[in-house]
Each structure stands twice: as C-alpha cells, then as structure tokens.
Amino acid sequence: MRRIVIAILAAACAKSAPQVPADVQAHVALQKAASCDALEKSVQDAAVREMRADIDAYKDSSSPGPLMMGGAAGAPQAAAAAPASYSTTNVQVAGVDEADFVKNDGTRIFMLTGQSLYAARSWPPQSLAFAGKLDIEGWPTEMFLDGDRLVIFSGIWSGGTGGMMVACPLSSGGMGCFGGYGTTKVTVVDMSDLAAPKVTSELYLPGSANGARRVGDSVRLVLTDQVRWPDGIKWWPDYDATLYQNHDLLVAALNKVEDDDEAIIRSTPLSKWFPDGQRKDPDGTTVDVSYQCSDFYLSNAPERLGLVTIATLDLSGDTPSVSRASIVGESGILYATQSHLYIASEHWWWWPWSGQRDYTYLHEFDISDPASAGYVGSGGVEGHLGDQFAMDEKDGYLRVASSTSAPSSDPSAVHGMVVGSRLTVLAPTDGELVKVGEIPSLEDAEQLTAMRFVGDMGFAVTFRAVDPLVTLDLTDPAHPKKVAELTIPGFSTYLQPIDPTHLLAIGEDETVDAHGVPDWSHRSMQLSLFDVSDLSNPQRAANVLVGSAWASSEAEWDHHAFNWFNGFLAIPFSDWGGAGGWSDFVSDVRVFAVDPGSAEKISAIGALGMADVYVQEGDADWTWYYRPWVRRSVMATDDAGTTYVYAVSDAGIRVAALNALGTPIATALISSAPAAK
C-alpha cells in the first residue's frame, strides 16, 4: 500500500487533542521571506506545529511505542584522435545534461567508485588503460564533465550525535534514527592531465544532493536538508513506569514535553536553525557561503519543516560562484528544460484521516540566467509522480502524468486503496501554475509504470495484471485526449523514442493465472518495440525475452544505464543460476540491434562479459559501495564504421568490437590505476 503523505503546517489546535491534518492547498504559492525576523518566526511556528503533531500522535495510546528507547533530542536526518561518434549519458531533454557516476567524451572515461575518481584513456580501444586516480572526500555519487573539468558531488555526514541512535520525530518513520546532518561537497577537478588530476575548487553546501542538471557552464544542484533542531528537544517524556498504567498521566506528561519544547523553540534564534556552508580555494582560503535570509521562499501549502535549495554553480570563471534559492519545505522529483526547472513535492498526511487524497505540489523556477534561479509560480496536481519522465514542458505548458491513490473501505479496493492515473496540463498565469486541461482517467484502477512525452504525443504505461500502452493526443493543451490503448502481458518501466514513429521499451513480461494474478516464477525481463505511427492503433512490432526469471538490468529503473546509440541498444545485465555463488552469477553488457524496417526488428548481437575480472578483483563479500558487476556501457564508432563497446564496472573497464564481443581487445583494472601525482 502506498503511504499518502503531507506535512502539517495547519492552524494550531487544542494542546490536549491530536491536530487535524491540514487539507490540500488549492492555490499554492511561494513568497520571499520579508525579513530575517519574519523568517525566524515562520520557522519557529512550523517547528512548534510539527513537534506538537508528532507528540500528539501518542496521546491515543497507553503504550510509549518504539520511540521509548533513548529520550534525547535529535533531528532526522587530450588524447589520440577522437572517434567519429560516441554515446554519452542518456538524458531526458536535449541540451540538459544529467549527473551520473560515469562520464566520457569519446577519448576518456571517468568513473566514480568507492571514495575515488578513476580516469582512463579509452581511444583508440587497444590503448584502454587507467591513467590516474584521485581520492574524493566523502562518498562521491555523481558528476558532470565540462571540457577538461569535472564537477563531482559527494556526500559527507557530519555533526549530530556521532552516529548513535536517538529518538526522532514520528515524521522520520516512527523508529529510532541516526543523528547527524548531510553535507554535499562539490569538488571541481582539472583533468587536462589525466595522470595528474588537480582540484581547483571545493564547495561545502548543507544538505543532501537530490538531483542535478547542467546547461552549458551553469550547474543546478537541488539539495534537501533538515533544520537543526535545538538541543534539549524531546519527543517523549523521561521514562516512568507509571505512564504505562495511567493514560491520563501519559497525556499530562506529553503535554508538558510539548510546552517545554515550545519554550526552547521560541528562544532559538534563526542562526541556530540553518547550517553553514563554505568554499575552499586552491590556496586553502575558505569563503563563507552560508544561507542568507534573502535566499528563502515560504510556502502557503502544508509543507514539512525542512529545506529545499536550488544551488546555481556558475562555472564560467576560474572559481565557481554560487547562488541559492531555498524553500522551507521538502524536496521531491526534479525536472528541467534549458530554461525552466520544476520541483515536485507530495502533500503529507501525518496519519489516516477521512477525506484524504493524494496530491503533489509543483514549483517552477526560471533558469535562463546562468547565474541564478528565479521563482515563476506554483501549482498542484492530484496524485503522485513516479519519476522525472512524468513531467514535460512544451510551448510553455507543463504536462504532468500522475498516479492517484486514496484509502477506501470498499471491498473491491486493492489493498484498501482506490487507485488510478491521470494527466494534467498547466500553464503559468499571474504567479500560479493553473490547470488548463486534463484527462481525469488514463486507466481505471491502474497506476503508471512508465511515461514519455514526444512533442504533441504522450505515451503512458499502466499496470495491474496486464500492461496497457495508452496513446495520448496533446495537440490542444486545453483538450488533451486519450486516443487508444494496447493491452499486453507484463509492463514497461522505461520508454525510449528511437524515431518519430517507434518506441523502444524495457520492462517485465509476466504470466498471469485465470484470475489475473501474476506468476512471478515465470516472469522475464523483456525488450519491446512499439509502432505508434497511428495513435489510434498502436502495435507491438517485436519483443525479446532476456535471461531467466532471475535476470535484471539497472536500465529497468535508471535510464542512465539505457544506452541507445546508432541503431544499437546496450544494457547492463545480470542473472543468477540455481546453485548460487560466483559460478552462477552472470554480469555483462548485452547488445541488441534494433531496426523497425527489418524482418527481425530486435536481434541479439551478443554479450561483453567480465566474469574473470570480478572474480579476480573481488569476492562474494560484496558491500553496499562495492558492486563489481557491470553497471554502465559506452559505445564509440571509428571513421571506418567499426563500433566498439565498453563495459564499465567497479572492478574495471573492458572493450571489444561490436562484431566480436566475445574477444576483448583490452581490459583496464581498477587495481592498476595509478594514484594522482
């Protein structure tokens, strides 16, 4: 069951009774904080409401629940000639680069693994070798490549209680959580000499990275963070055995905790709520880049107390400059064009309440200025968004596909929920994203598993027991139309337009019984080619099953692993045999030729494996940060028309010609990478 969520910033209610969750804000808007004093009061008001809502949740129970353990305070937490053509990171919008842990420019491949950056010369293929390595502070997760410059994002855990479990608000999940706060480090590295990477700038920004986009020299990094709850805040009274036996005593004790907490909150100045930030220049000089009151926007919608920051990094100078726009609230899905950035965040219900409905708030920012982000307007849609592909902008209109869910006691409801899917078209009008058109139901009782917009067309995949591909005509924004649907077993998780009339999809094939219930033991990963030349009559032109019932590919849930290049598809692939262990584990790059005009349409070319590499370089005691299996691929074609495939893993990189994938040309091992000079 999907949990429907909303942050409570409702009007204060009686201290002795649980607060009523705030309803959806129909006209959501952001306002610049009028002053530091106004911002301070707004944060304190929100903190008091959230604190009281959390503690109120225990007043209808005589049991202290899971938070009894630990009553302390704490907040939740240049080279040879280049190839004629080569693949790069798969992105949603042309001209808007997306961060990933592997980047390449045809002659060089850069990868992040563990706590290090590795740089390899990759062209010509037979010269593949690691040339340099650089340790990165924290845990590097993704990066951008801009000419000879890498912009690397790493996470650093700091402050708090040193990793000890403490009692945390109900909104953190109801169980104990780990104290401390996230910091995102931005490391800019000069890679003009692969053997000698040079750090040119280090920037420490409070919060955890939630996504990033790059347009030219401008990088937009979206961060999510918690405010720093004051010392002394409690979420439960000190232990007293009598609280188990007397509910009135429990309520009285909780009331006192709330009153004591509010006194602490009201006496805590603004400077204590927001963390600091700094930039470190190559000479070791540190420059303060802490939050400024003028950076903040306040929402009139029920938002949980937190921080969402759009940090703009201007790379046009020697030292990146940074500007920020921050929202007091919480972050969600990010979507960006070359001129606009959208942030979607869900309405948060603290607990089940009559009349709840799934809802998502949308905030639009203008990023046409490479040095800043300016607020445009806000709006909302019914339901929740699955991923970034649920949003698309065309001619100033924002099209949003959402899945809906609401609690229901109807016996026909699935797991006690009424579900569905819909499409909403919005346009910015007088500081608000106003609904101008909609399709109230894409498919009854089914939620979205994939969505793709292509010009004036839309394609939605929904799923319950079978997979309808729904075609949409979006020519008239005020009157979008559902045109037709194609129903087939299983479902797709990602749709890739490969020409004006065809979609290539990856997903699952499933066998269902007479009652429509999926039989997971007979599932299989599959590729499908859809002919959508006629929206009123979509057809599956071909499909190919890949691997056993245990097979999977990261491309099923991360489009950066889906490598579509010059008529070929390369995906990382893994599978397990029956006995388990290294001998039954398969990890490679699978390559397919896709040609809608041919008889076969989708044909398997072969696989580039690395079994010997990960057996040699690792062992079965994998860790969360070391995964030796293949996760990315690169393809490049020389002037003679020969295409080469590179398999990239935490153990190393291997390359082979497309027409001889079983005969590797060269292999570069992580263990052989030289340290930075």
Of the candidates 210, 173, 431, the residue with the CA atom closest to the CA atom of residue 308: 210
Per-residue DSSP letter, 603: E
Say if residues 90 and 96 touch (Cβ distance below 8 Å): no
Strands 208-215 and 97-98: antiparallel
The mean per-residue pLDDT over the stretch 17-36 comes to 77
Instruction: Note the pLDDT tens digit of each residue in 121-131.
Output: 999 999 999 99
Ranked by mean pLDDT, the top range of 40-44, 273-277, 289-293, 473-477 is: 473-477
Q: How far apart are CA 384 and CA 261, in angstroms?
A: 34
pLDDT at 117 over 60: yes
Instruction: Note the pLDDT tens digit of each residue in 540-591.
Output: 999 999 988 888 999 999 999 999 999 999 999 998 765 555 567 788 999 9
Q: How far apart are CA 238 and CA 618, in angstroms?
A: 48
276 pLDDT band (50/70/90 cuts)? confident
pLDDT at 520 over 80: no
285 pLDDT band (50/70/90 cuts)? confident
Per-residue DSSP letter, 47: H
pLDDT: which is higher, 660 or 613: 660
Say if residues 118 and 152 touch (Cβ distance below 8 Å): no
Torsion of CA 119, 121, 123, 125, to 10 degrees: -100
pLDDT confidence of residue 555: 97
Q: Which residue has the tokens 């036996």?
A: 245
Q: How many CA atoms does the CB half-sphere of 334 hold within 13 Å? A: 22
Say if residues 540 and 475 touch (Cβ distance below 8 Å): no
Longest dimension (CA), the chain: 84
pLDDT confidence of residue 516: 57
Residue 380 CA, chain-centre distance (Å), reads 20
Name 664's Cβ contacts closer than 8 Å, sequence gap at least 6: 608, 654, 655, 656
Q: How far apart are CA 297 and CA 326, in angstroms?
A: 6
Instruction: Note the pLDDT tens digit of each residue in 377-412.
Output: 999 999 999 999 999 999 999 999 999 887 666 666
Say if residues 164 and 181 touch (Cβ distance below 8 Å): no
pLDDT cut 90: percent of the chain above it: 53
The mean per-residue pLDDT over the stretch 213-226 comes to 93
Q: How far is CA 357 from CA 60, 112, 345, 419, 541, in A?
A: 24, 41, 14, 11, 39
pLDDT at 7 over 60: no
3-state DSSP assignment of residue 294: helix
pLDDT at 145 over 50: yes
Mean pLDDT check: name the lowest of 212-216, 228-232, 633-637: 228-232
The full DSSP string for 322-344 is EEEEEEES---EEEE-SSEEEEE
The residue ranges of every structural domain in the chain are 31-77+229-272, 560-677
Instruction: Note the pLDDT tens digit of each residue in 353-367.
Output: 667 788 999 999 999
pLDDT at 143 over 60: yes
Say if residues 463 and 447 touch (Cβ distance below 8 Å): yes
The full DSSP string for 441-461 is -SSTT-EEEEEEEETTEEEEE
Q: What are phi and psi of 510, to 5 degrees?
A: -135, 150
64 upstream amide cis, omega within 30 of 0: no
pLDDT confidence of residue 164: 31
Q: How far apart are CA 251 and CA 246, in angstroms?
A: 9
The mean per-residue pLDDT over the stretch 461-489 comes to 89
pLDDT: which is higher, 642 or 348: 642
3-state DSSP assignment of residue 492: strand
Of the candidates 676, 656, 659, the residue with the CA atom closest to the CA atom of residue 122: 656
The pTM assigned to this predicted structure is 0.87
Q: How far is CA 189 from CA 173, 207, 281, 361, in A?
A: 38, 21, 12, 37
User: What is the overall mean pLDDT for the chain?
Assistant: 83
The mean per-residue pLDDT over the stretch 451-475 comes to 89
The full DSSP string for 222-235 is EEEE---PPTT--S
pLDDT confidence of residue 161: 37
619 pLDDT band (50/70/90 cuts)? low
Q: Is 243 left (phi over 0), alpha (psi -120 to 50) or beta?
A: alpha
The full DSSP string for 606-633 is EEEE-HHHHHHH--S--BTTB--SEEEE
